[in-house]
Amino acid sequence: MIYLLPPENKTLVWYLAMEEYVAEHIHQFGDQVLFTWIVDPTVIIGKHQVLENEVNLPYCRANRIAVYQRKSGGGCVYSDRGNLMTSFISTNTHAQEVFQAYLQQMVEVLSKMGCQATRSQNNDILVNQRKVSGNASYTNKQATVVHGTMLCNVNLQHMQMAITPSQEKLDKHGVKSVRQRVENLMSIHPELELSTTHVRQFLMDELTERHIELTSEDIRLIDQIESTYSLLVS
């Protein structure tokens, strides 16, 4: 597996654009590509979601939390610099096969770091029965893309206040609030080194054989893809 070194300090949608670009040009990089990324406080909603129903706009504006809309469906996600985002792209277009193998790899990596991780029925990764990672996938003609979160030391107050999920969604998961359902790795295991920096390095060491960088032309083309996403709150 190749680890692709992304530039730092880009927007959340820039890294989604990078996923698109790598998936479209996967054979330029290798059969399996992993990269990880960290962003400033951001909320992103799905293509079909209604902004006012999903996001606490006054809170986001007051706390300088950017809000974007992605081009695909799915739910609302909050991220900040305490969350390590992972992107895995494979030439295998059997989406479920790739997805399940990826989840198992993440569980095994966390276990090697000292966390007894398990998988939930909702494709989440749990430690001590608390969600520390959510994951999703999609496929194009060339590749399958799996992306996920790893909550190392996220601002859980921002996460709870910025996102306003429906009661129906909370009931589905049997919880009263976002805060009740999720937890940071560093809170569950304060005795372990589980910062985003350490988890990123561990993933690189355990899962990848070599590292490569994007070219200036790659970055220029990803910039163009980024411009197709919608910024709703800056």
pLDDT in tens, 34-62: 999 999 999 999 888 999 999 999 999 99
The domain containing residue 154 runs over which residues?
Answer: 2-233
pLDDT digits (tens, 9 = 90+) for 84-116: 999 999 999 999 999 999 999 999 999 999 999
**The CATH number of the domain where 170 resides is what?**
3.30.930.10
pLDDT digits (tens, 9 = 90+) for 181-230: 899 999 999 999 999 999 999 999 999 999 999 999 999 999 999 999 98
First-to-last C-alpha distance (Å) of the chain: 36
Residue type at 112? K
Residue 122 DSSP label = T
| Domain count of the fold of the chain | 1
Q: In what order do the strands lie in the sheet with 230-233?
A: 77-79, 42-45, 66-69, 230-233
Q: Are 60 and 228 in contact (CB under 8 A)?
A: no
> By three-state DSSP, how is residue 138 classified?
strand
Given this model, what pLDDT does residue 47 score?
84
pTM tops 0.85, yes or no: yes
